[in-house]
Structure 1
Amino acid sequence: MTAGPLFALTLLAVLGTGLVAGVFFAFSSFVMRALALLPPAQGAAAMQSVNRTVLNPVFLGVFAGTALLSVAVVVLSIARGFADGGPWLLAGGVSYVAGTFVLTRVVHIPRNDTLMRVDADSAEGAEFWARYVPAWTRWNHVRMLASLVACAFFVVALVNG
């Protein structure tokens, strides 16, 4: 792939997908485990705090910006007739947008919204927390893998395109 707009956008997509994969890896490998070890009210309250603070321009810029970059490299690749690593760019774009961005909207945001509405100190909060942690974490593994796979596809596109 020669230097130019597609190269630059793909390089930014590599960085974005890698950053997002790292965040999700942290949650999958130790953050959720640490929260699950706390008493339910404390774990739920800590996750409620995480869910409030993640809504910031830096994280959302990288998370949503990477989705936009993914779409842009796919569109540019299609416009160029799938030259310059086009199939890899398509695979990376689909992996990130479907496996990370859409999955977050469909699975994680509704769960997080429900958690935000429960009283962490209540019996209902403890019951919800007991169901929340394993389901949220399981789906987070999928997001992490999708982001990592997207990163790998974009790297392959840069190297072989």
Structure 2
Amino acid sequence: MNWLSIAQLVAALGCALIAGTFFAFSTFVMQSLASRPPVEGMAAMQAINQIILRSAFLSVFLGTALLCAALAVYALIARDAHATRIVAASFFYVVGTLGVTMWANVPRNNALDRADPVARESVGLWQRYVREWTLWNHVRTIAATISTALFIGWP
């Protein structure tokens, strides 16, 4: 196994870990938080938003994006036989997860973090947040899953 194969394996594992995390949020975490009274769900999500920034998640999330970018550049420069697949995998991860996160999820997280969970107007913010944040999280889940599949050589 050469270094490129190892780097692709590490990228695939990073993409898979992130896809799994996003999948969990899309399929049951957000539904669980939304099922609680708004003040509870909102406070819990605010805590998640703070803790995730100090967790291993952030290192895996950003490290995978850097590895994807490096692999894409290498594949293009070296004219690797699998360049199209590597560039596509990297594109889906960098744009579909990191890009969507920065463009869609982080601004919603910031707005939620500034809100007071007990304030009356926060109920509408929370309901809109759950709907919109989850929609964009579905996009991130799909993108990270596609990246994983492409890095492992499918199709």
Shared fold, TM over 0.5: yes
Q: Structure 1 residues 57 and 46 mapped into 2: Cα distance closer, same or farther (>3 Å)?
A: closer
Task: Judge conservation of contact 1:92–1:150 (CA < 8 Å) in 2.
Answer: yes
| Corresponding residue to 1:130 among 127, 131, 136 | 127
Instruction: Report the equivalent of 1:156.
Output: 153
The more displaced of 91-100 and 5-14 is 5-14
Aligned length: 155
Instruction: Report the equivalent of 2:118.
Output: 121
1:126 is paired with a residue whose SS is: helix
Q: What per-residue deviation string (whole Å, max 9, x for no partner) do you get for residues 116-149 of structure 1?
A: 0000011121110011101000110000000000
Q: What per-residue deviation string (whole Å, max 9, x for no partner) do you get for residues 3-40 of structure 1?
A: 32211111100000000000000000000000000001
Q: Residues of 2 paired with 1:59 and 1:28: CA distance?
A: 16
| Corresponding residue to 2:84 among 76, 84, 87 | 87
Q: Residues of 2 paired with 1:125 and 1:57: CA distance?
A: 27
Instruction: Report the equivalent of 1:56.
Output: 54
Q: How does 1:9-158 map to 2 (within 5 A)?
A: 9-83=7-81, 85-156=82-153
Amino acid corresponding to residue 95 of structure 1 in structure 2 = F
Residue 57 of structure 1 and its aligned partner are, at CA, apart by 4.5
Q: Residues of 2 paired with 1:50 and 1:26: CA distance?
A: 13
- The answer for unaligned runs of 5 or more in structure 2 is none
4+ runs deviating over 4 angstroms? none
1:123 is paired with a residue whose SS is: coil
RMSD of aligned Cα (Å):
1.2
